[in-house]
Amino acid sequence: MKHVLFKKNSLFSTRFVGGLLLSLAFHSGSVCAQNEPRYNRIASLESSNEMKSYQKDLRSGASFAEKHQRLLLNEGLPQLFIDGNRLDRAGVRQRLEKIFFDSIADSTAYKKATDSAVTQLSALARSEQISINGSINAVLFLGELKDKQGRLLTTATQPLSEIISDDSVTPAVRIAALAGLGKRIQELGTSSGENKQVEAATIVPTLNKILSL
């Protein structure tokens, strides 16, 4: 396997990608409505009885039921693109991970929750019903999701690679996915064993496509 070096001034530079994403987000316009959630700010969702019930259930070891999935998909993930949260998008991503995933005690429930999130976030990356800014935030969240052991979520790697390789996806959104892939490349340096081989096998084809552009 070829070793790919990422120099300070390369495309994968965190400073470069972060600056470019900030610029693109600034010029991306307002968020368009797509099934607007009932809670128009993350703080309202956090303090709601629904959210408290969700956390109580899942802390007790309950399975990830349909009602939990509805709250995550219909009220949680839309917080990434609604207008009420536009001034603190990074903070919203951190708060969503904390309130929806940190409280899940059961490993099977955790996997079901993150699988649901990955599927929905991948769809938001390609959605024409929300702004580019909203899609960027959705993909950044996809790239930041972690598994129950605190490692970057393996099941998000393939969707990120597909977004990067998809010429029909807006370039700004593909760059956001590239940031998530870059985090995984950094993490590979500290991982070992089977997980490292699986992740590398997913990432390398995408890198080859990027390098051929």
Q: What is the pLDDT of residues 32-54, one digit of tens each?
A: 345 679 999 999 999 999 999 99
Taking the C-alpha atoms of residue 154 and residue 49, their distance in angstroms, rounded to an integer, is: 32
Say if 207 falls within a structural domain. yes
Number of domains in the chain: 1
Q: 123 is in which domain, residue-wise?
A: 14-212
Answer whether residue 4 is part of any domain.
Answer: no
With respect to residue 157, please indicate whether it lies within any of the assigned structural domains: yes
- DSSP-derived letter for residue 5 is P
Cα 197 to chain centroid, rounded: 22
Query: What is the spatial distance between Cα 48 and Cα 177, in angstroms, rounded to a whole number?
Result: 31
Pick 112 or 202 by higher pLDDT. Answer: 112
Q: Determine the average pLDDT of the residues in 1-17.
A: 43
Confirm whether 3 is domain-assigned: no
Residue 7 lies in a domain: no
Return the DSSP state at 4: P
Q: Which two tokens stand for residue 109?
A: 């429930």
Is residue 31 scored above 50 in pLDDT?
Answer: no
- Is residue 1 in a domain? no
In a domain, 105, yes or no: yes
Burial class of residue 60, CB neighbours in 10 A (0-12, 13-18, 19+): exposed
- What gap in Å lies between CA 94 and CA 84, rounded to an integer? 16
Is residue 138 in some structural domain? yes
pTM of the model: 0.79
Question: What rounded mean pLDDT belongs to the chain?
Answer: 84
